[in-house]
Structure formats: structure tokens, C-alpha cells
Structure 1
Amino acid sequence: MRRARIGSDELALVVEADGARIASLTHLPTGRELLASTPWADDPADGFVMADSSAQWHRAYRGGWHLLLPRAGDSPAAVSPPQPFHGEAAWRTWRLASSGGTCRASVALRTLPLAIERRMSVHANTLVIETEVRNLGPVPVEVGWAEHPAFAGDLFREGSIVRSGDRDLGLGAAPAASFCDIAAPAGAVAIAAPHAGIEITVTWDAAMHPRLYVWQEQRGSSGFPWWGAMDAVGLEPASDPYGTPVDALGSLAVGAGESLVSVVSLRVDRRRAVSPEATS
């Protein structure tokens, strides 16, 4: 199965085998696509591959929601075998199976003895992603882990508010391009989009993912790879500060024969739509 479609009366989800990427998440009552996609997202795959994995990731990036494991960003030079940019899991073709409102995705990594199972289920206005990482090897493994949802840029128009706990993230007005890494002890981030008539709340286990990467690429970069055409905001729960540790993949230890389990939820609530004139 290359693609699975699941949903409820309120949310429709499309999962692709490539990277177990959530390619689309649509709020049906408003007809809004909640995840960003690049203008070339529907282009067919080609045989050309850039030598640097970071460059290739960005060249081929289609948007949506990825799992970054066993490392977000570049692999440390001391790690062998090296990881591709954002980790092997996001580059692999996963096995998919779907039934009713649930999609199961599974893959066994080759660079580490890890088996990953990802269960995505939709219940009314809520998406729940349960991920188990199991160590099949005889010794403990340390990994990094980040969730990488890229939200549609049009959710972040003037009047929108993005908060993690009691902290207003204060995103700059588009066009803008920025990246920051913050502590997220609340284990939650909320997007209030009054012009869209919705509020999105993402929650996770802050003990496992105490950081939040905030990536804003709203037509703010004129060069490669975006050419001023990408409109997205990434709000990404993560296990480690970006770029650390410098001598290992991450700080999460998976004992021999043991598992780590993460649950991330996304809920969409209806709010009375407010016109742009009313928020000015």
C-alpha cells in the first residue's frame, strides 16, 4: 500500500508509505488543509540525487508531517554509520495497513537495530499518533526523536496567536524565515486562528520531548530550496536541543529488547470565525 486514507466526520488524513509521512490533514467542517505542502509536492519522483543529504532533503521536501528518528538535523561526524539529514526513518519506505479510522505504519531501520511502529487514529476532532520504538539488538541504543509537522502558512495570518503553555511564541509577520529551539515544559502548543474559525492544540509527553523547534518559512527565503514559494510553520516537539548532542544521536536510551512509546495528539476545535477587518 503506497497511500492510506482514514478519517472521521471532522478530520480526513492521508498517510504515504514514503517516510510514513502524513501528506494531508483536512478539517472537514471548514474545508481547511492544516498541513503545508510545497508547490512541487505532486511532482513525480526522479533519479537525480544531490550528494549532500541535507540538500537532497530540502530539494525533495513535500511538506506534511514526518517522524525524525534517530536524529533531527545533521548526523554528528563521530557517529557511525552516519545518518542522513533528519534521520533514516524519514527516508525509508514504510509498510502501511489501514482499517476504519486507523492507519498502522511499520519499518525496521538498517543503521540501528530498531523497529518502529506508528499507529495513527482519528476520533471525531482528534488525531492520535502512538509510536513505539523497539530495540531488537543486544545492547542499549541512544537516539534523538522529533515530530515534524509543518502547518499551512495561511493559518498564521494577522490575528493568529501561537502559545506553548503561558508563552506567546510571537511569530513574525509574513514574509518571514526563522528557526528557534525553545524549552516546552507544558508539552503543548496551540494555534488560535480566528480568521479560520478554528483552534489547533497539539499535546505530547514533555518528559520525552522537552523541546519545541519553531520553524517559520513563510515566503521569506528567496534562494534554494524555497525560492520564496514555501508557506509553512513547523511546531516540532523534540527530545534534544537542535544540533545536540555533538557526539551521539540523542539522549533517549532504549535498552536491549525494550521499547520507547510516545503519544502525540492533535485536536481541532471550532471557533467563531472573525473577519480580517474585525482583527485590525
Structure 2
Amino acid sequence: MRRNWGARLREIVLDGMRAVVLENERVRVTVVPGKGGDVVELLHKPTDTDFVWLAPQGLRNPRDHLQGAADDVAPFVDHYEGGWQEVFPNGGAPSEYQGARLAQHGEVAGLPWSYEIVADREDEVAVRLAVRTRRLPYRLEKVLRLRSGTAALEVEGAATNDSPVPLHAMWGQHIVYGRPFLRPGARIRLPEGVRVIPHASAIGPGGRRVRAGGPWEWPLVPADAGGVTDLSMVQEPGSPSDIVYVTGFGDTGWYEISENIGMRVEWDATLLPYLWMWQELGASTGYPWWGRAYTVGLEPFSSLPTDGLAAAVANGTALALGPHETKRLWMRADVLA
């Protein structure tokens, strides 16, 4: 019998794609297996606050562009609806790795995932999603879990090298916040002692891209135009676009972003030791934003910079998976209210 209380789960159709809705008394989470396993809603019911930013172009079915998978741009940017994506095995710019040409943030964010319901009880609901990459021999799985009475989405991930060949990868969680939740003056909190590595054109030791003098102590970094930028506060519309990398979390990474209501994200920082922190606040008036984005991304990642897998291999930050090895990841996203 279908429940309308406690933890519950529904299977629906969004824009021609199967979607799964997990909810309880406090939150509702919608995931789209047919589009990268994307989380397209994380709604706090008591305040009607959705923490997932949705892009103006909306949700688009990946079947409309699978034939263009070799395109360096279209698989991700042209079909980016906002939301929360899994990024694997390439992060950032297009890259070539051992003869495989990988698109921006390719491959899994642009592929349909299979799914199965693994828990459907009044106290807990959970769905397992799985996908195989097409250019590299990887299998990715994740379980999304919601327990009754909590405001937390729990995630358990696994990445497996399905070959007898040692391989590299970049693994990240493309989590982006926007309006109406995100507002100027919202605060971003990180653990004490983390360090900021700004992204710039200068090449530092080991091939790492840093500004001269970096890394810097959170939350202050030198601004390109002089002065200092305070990364702990969300800036006004029209502020410059930027990206930095934060590291030094220890075994468990966490951040909080809030203004009256907020979100706390925790993750396994032994596997994802970097936090990509980027902002697009309306300053980019050309492709692909056209001045319509007011977003901040806070994205746990295995590697840096945003130049793609080949660059991460060169600087020693790429994730290494031995023959038939599996890496396991845990995360938790908890509403602060």
C-alpha cells in the first residue's frame, strides 16, 4: 500500500524520463536516473526552501544528445539543468587520457543510469543507481537514502575499475546553490585551518596552477584587482566570476552555507580532499550564462585543477584505481533549520 506518512517513495516521469521521489516529514528529494542520476530537488518542506539551483534552460533528456558524446561542450553545458551531478572520470575542461577523448565533466553526468529500489519502509527509503562509462572501463554506483524524521540525504558511492589495467580518474560532486535560497550576505563556514589555492594562469610546483604566494588561509585571498576577497560571504550580483580550491580537511570534510536556513554537507575527505568553490553571479554575459546565473558551487573533489584528467595525472592529484579496484565514498547533506 502506498504511504503518505513517514518515509515514502514514488516513481514518476519528468520530461519523458523516469524519476524517483524520496521524502519524509521534513524533506523531499527528487533524483532523475535517466539524466546522470542528477538530484533536481532537495526541498525543506516546513519552509518551502529548495536547495537545488535550477538553470533557466531546464531539464533536458540526454537521449537528445548521446550521438554527440564526442563534443567537448554539448554533453554537459548544453544540457545542464542545475541540480547536483556526479562528475566522473573527468573533471572540468575536456581532456584526453590514454587515447580516450573525454568531454567536459564527462562521462557519467550525461548518461542514463539504471536504478532499483532497495528500501521502501516507513522508517527508511533508498534507491540504488548504477552506470557504466563508455570511454573508460568504469562502473559507478550510488545509494541515496532518506530516514524518517531527519532532514538529511545520505549517499554511499562506489567506483570500480572493471579492467586489468591500472587507471586514473577525477571524482567530484557538482553541488551548486542558487536563488531563491542563495542571497548576498549568506555565510559559508569551513573547518579552521583549511587552505585556499586560487586558480590562475601561473604554474606552480608539480604543475599546479596557483597565484604567486598561495595557498592562502581561509577565508581571505588576494583579489585580482587588488585588496582582499572574503570567501566566507556570498557577494552581490555582478561580482566577478572566480574559482578556488580548498584543502586541508583531515579525514572528514564539511561546509555550511546559510542565511536563516542552510545546508551542511559532510564527506569522506580521504577520497575527496579538495573543495572546488566557484561563483557565477551574473558577470558572465556570454555563452553559456548570458548574465542569468546567480550561483555558488561548493563541490567536494578528488583532484585539481579544472583543466581535466590529464592535468590531474600530471600534478599527482588524480585518483588512482588499480586493476578491478573499488573506491567507496560516503556523503551526507543535512538541512540546518
TM-score range, shorter chain: 0.7 to 0.9
Sequence identity, in percent?
A: 27
Q: How far 1:43 sits from its partner (Å)?
A: 5.9
CA distance in 1, matches of 2:172, 2:114: 21
CA distance in 2, matches of 1:237, 1:94: 21
CA distance in 2, matches of 1:91, 1:44: 9
**Matching of residue 11 in structure 1 with residue 27 in structure 2:** yes
Partner residue of 1:39? 56
TM-score, scaled relative to structure 1: 0.86
**Matching of residue 228 in structure 1 with residue 291 in structure 2:** yes
Query: Could you tell me which amino acid in structure 2 is paired with residue 10 of structure 1?
Result: R
After TM superposition, list the pairs within 5 Å mapping 1:231-246 onto structure 2.
231-242=294-305, 243=307, 245-246=310-311
CA distance in 2, matches of 1:75, 1:223: 20
User: CA 1:79–1:40 in 2, change beyond 3 Å: closer, same or farther?
Assistant: same
Q: Is the 8 A contact 2:177 2:295 kept in 1?
A: yes
- Bigger relative contact order (CA 8 A; separation at least 6): 1
Q: 1:2 aligns with which of 10, 18, 27?
A: 18
CA distance in 2, matches of 1:192, 1:207: 25
Partner residue of 1:181? 245
SS in 2 for 1:173: coil
1:145-177 CA-to-partner distances (Å, cap 9, x unmatched) read 111011123333234210221344333222333
User: CA 1:227–1:247 in 2, change beyond 3 Å: closer, same or farther?
Assistant: closer
**Matching of residue 155 in structure 1 with residue 222 in structure 2:** no
Q: How far 1:51 sits from its partner (Å)?
A: 7.5
Q: 1:165 aligns with which of 191, 197, 202?
A: 191
RMSD: 2.4
Q: How far 1:178 sits from its partner (Å)?
A: 2.2
TM-score, scaled relative to structure 2: 0.73
Partner residue of 1:261? 328
Query: Could you tell me which amino acid in structure 1 is paired with residue 323 of structure 2?
Result: A
Partner residue of 1:275? none
CA distance in 1, matches of 2:336, 2:96: 44
User: CA 1:120–1:227 in 2, change beyond 3 Å: closer, same or farther?
Assistant: same
Choose 227-236 or 77-86, whichever is displaced more: 77-86
Q: Is the 8 A contact 2:178 2:296 kept in 1?
A: yes
CA distance in 2, matches of 1:118, 1:132: 6
SS in 2 for 1:59: helix
Q: 1:219 aligns with which of 271, 278, 282?
A: 282
Partner residue of 2:140? 116
Q: 1:191 aligns with which of 233, 250, 257?
A: 257
Unaligned runs of 5+ in 2: 1-16, 193-217, 220-230
- Higher Cα Rg, which structure: 2
Q: Is the 8 A contact 2:60 2:79 kept in 1?
A: no
Q: Is the 8 A contact 1:79 1:247 kept in 2?
A: no
CA distance in 2, matches of 1:56, 1:19: 11
CA distance in 1, matches of 2:255, 2:27: 19
